[in-house]
Amino acid sequence: MTARTWIGTGGYVVFLIAAALIAASIGGSIERTLVVFFISLIAVLGMGVYSGNSGILSFGHLAFMGIAAYLSGILTMPVAMKKVTLAHAPTFLANAHLDFFSATVVTVLFVMAVALVVGVVISRLDGSSATITTLGLLVIVHGIIIGAREITRGSQSFFGVPRWTDITVAASCAVLAIVVARVFKDSVFGLKLRASRDDQLAAGAMGVNVRRQRLISWVLSAGLVAIAGVLIGHFLGAFSVKKFYFVDTFALLAMLIVGGMATVSGALAGAVLITLVSEFLRRIEGGVDILGYQTPQLFGTTQIGIGLIILLVMYKKSGGLLDRLELDEIVLPKLLKDRVATAARRSSPPVVPDGLLEAREITKAFDGLLALDKVSLALKSGEIVGLIGPNGSGKTTLLNVLSGMLPATAGTALIDGKDMTPLPAYRLASMGVSRTFQNIRLFGSMSVRQNVLVSALDKWPSSSTRSADAMVDLALETMKLESVAETQASTLSYGDQRRVEVARALALNPRFLFLDEPAAGMNREETDALMDDLKGLREQFGMGILIVDHDLPLIMRLCDRVVVLNEGHVIAEGEPQSVQKNPKVIEAYLGRKGSRQVAGTLTE
Ligand code: ADP
Ligand code: MG
């Protein structure tokens, strides 16, 4: 959380309050429009807490809004009224009569509990499977509301809800929603979730429990949307189940998408734009008087207009108008950049206990292809082991199995004698296994610092971000990345991106570090510089390093031991000198024909 976040949030709050004051002083339809705008904004911000940070679109949030509107309506309706309109309601609901505040609290908690139950399933799904499931949620809740006639009046109008939502209430809740959404985005939770949005696998490998982060944001977002549901119910006084179905889902999604769902500024911009356009189109739809000529009623104009806006914006800017830009981050000078006290910075790395990682007869089959066949190897703290072999020999697969990213078909992986084969990647990360990826997998939309912070936070959770920041500084310094710390990761040069991968892996303060072709795509100069830095790692951090690379001179100079894989088998193992003379190795590398040439390369 930075000073900038808070000042930025303050800016939005001032904007909302100013809008509310102006609208209230004008009154009439402007005031009503603004109340609806505030309610929509709360819903959109709520949806954004989940969708914006996780990257998963939800069609289901209107279900939460609907549940909230009905529940708080029932809880607050005068008992005498309920006797007439909801004559068959269960007694505890028929007799309930809460004030606005208590009803809101009860409703929001209830909706969050529902979201928790649903979320356990949804948080396990990725991308469009999750999205489709949210659509299912919307349809199911719609069906339940129609079916539960005793308390909802089915598809008939539900009326008699006290009209307690005025501009003050709506504006206050919108302010709350803005603060929650903006602060959440920059919180540890938001950061981890955004990392998983950018690269789910890499986030897992850096210790992020993606499901848990999704669940947290899902429940929080349902809570915010529930507030919007309570407000709209108490604003309209009477509504029907249609209010919480596709048409409104579409309108709110339009707000979310058009502005750019990744940011709070985007939600705000989208809500403003779509509200203005809808108001305008609604007037046209109803027919307007132009210089005495009455235009005909044009049903559907609003929907079509909003649809066209979505098409146009998506065509031009697929990330929405503001894309990933957060206004406060642009407007407020870099000066406010969050810097930790530098005292902690030159600190030496925290000591990790010595350990032993073992692979015992690991086998991995992919649909008939045996990528690994009973591969065994050991890696001790303080040791640098090279893993080499021709393309397709199974090196990356072995790292994937040992880091928990792929389940082994057979065999065990142990840390200090403890079986860790069944553990997911994020658990292994917490146990001290860290890695880089052959195909760079950075959190592209985030800064270099944030990339590294994600993994540092695994070791030093939210309560002690200070130590996490110190670790980030140390990792950046070690990999000579200080000058690009605030740069967006995806814009860096190839070589620097590989360095960020190493820094990010270092920030977990691992006991075992796997480097999958860290020098791939680097020129000689960059490779040499990287090698010098890697050599320093062992002395400075003391972890065991398992390094895969095609640059044999690099491997030979860097490693204490080399393991050679060929077609999923270990064909040689030992000190670099002996391995490079091994005829099997020479043959595996270029076949019999080229063995003389490769012998040259290997002994270079
Ligand atoms: P290396 O890293 O040594 O070049 P890999 O471990 O990437 O080799 O691949 C080993 C073998 O397993 C290759 O034949 C590759 O095609 C296959 N393989 C790797 N990953 C998968 C996967 N996810 N699904 C199917 N086959 C795979
Ligand atoms: Mg590979």
* Choices 3.40.720.10, 3.40.630.40, 3.30.70.270, 3.40.50.300: CATH for 356-603: 3.40.50.300
The per-residue pLDDT of the chain, averaged, comes to 90
- Is 128 a residue whose pLDDT tops 60? yes
Could you tell me if the CB of 396 is within 6 A of ligand 1? yes
Cite the DSSP H helix spans in 381-433. 395-402, 425-430
Q: Which residues 6+ apart lie within 8 Å of 24 measured at CB?
A: 31, 167, 168
- Residue by residue, DSSP assigns 495-543 as HHHHHHHHHHHHTT--SEEEEESTTTT--HHHHHHHHHHHHHHHHHH--
Of ligand 1's listed atoms, the one at least distance from the Cα of 516 is 2
- Is 117 a residue whose pLDDT tops 80? yes
Of ligand 1's listed atoms, the one at least distance from the Cα of 568 is 10
User: Which residues have beta carbons under 5 A from ligand 2 (an ion)?
Assistant: 395-396, 438
- Is 593 a residue whose pLDDT tops 50? no
395 Cα to the center of ligand 1, angstroms: 8
pLDDT band at 390 (very low <50, low <70, confident <90, very high): very high
Q: Mean pLDDT, to the nearest integer, of 64-90?
A: 94
State how far the Cα of 223 lies from the Cα of 18, in Å rounded to an integer. 26
State pLDDT tens for residues 224-274: 999 999 999 999 999 999 999 999 999 999 999 999 999 999 999 999 999
Q: Mean pLDDT, to the nearest integer, of 503-526?
A: 93
Q: Mean pLDDT, to the nearest integer, of 455-464?
A: 74
- pLDDT at residue number 333: 55
**Three-state secondary-structure class, residue 414:** strand
- Is 347 a residue whose pLDDT tops 80? no
Tell me the ligand closest to 393's alpha carbon.
1
Could you tell me if the CB of 393 is within 6 A of ligand 1? yes
Of ligand 1's listed atoms, the one at least distance from the Cα of 565 is 3
pLDDT band at 594 (very low <50, low <70, confident <90, very high): very low
pLDDT band at 161 (very low <50, low <70, confident <90, very high): very high
- Is 164 a residue whose pLDDT tops 80? yes
- Is 377 a residue whose pLDDT tops 90? yes
Q: Mean pLDDT, to the nearest integer, of 192-200?
A: 96
Q: What is the number of residues in the chain?
A: 604
403 Cα to the center of ligand 2, angstroms: 14
- pLDDT at residue number 350: 74
State how far the Cα of 555 lies from the Cα of 388, in Å rounded to an integer. 8
- Is 603 a residue whose pLDDT tops 80? no
C-alpha distance from residue 185 to each of 2, 141, 209, 221, 298 (Å):
11, 28, 17, 12, 41
| Residue of 273 and 287 predicted with greater confidence | 273
Could you tell me if the CB of 389 is within 6 A of ligand 1? yes
Q: Where are the domains of the chain?
A: 3-243, 356-603
C-alpha distance from residue 32 to each of 35, 36, 204, 225, 381 (Å):
5, 6, 46, 20, 67
State pLDDT tens for residues 310-328: 999 999 998 899 888 888 7
126 Cα to the center of ligand 1, angstroms: 23
394 Cα to the center of ligand 1, angstroms: 6
- Is 156 a residue whose pLDDT tops 80? yes
Could you tell me if the CB of 371 is within 6 A of ligand 1? yes
- pLDDT at residue number 360: 96
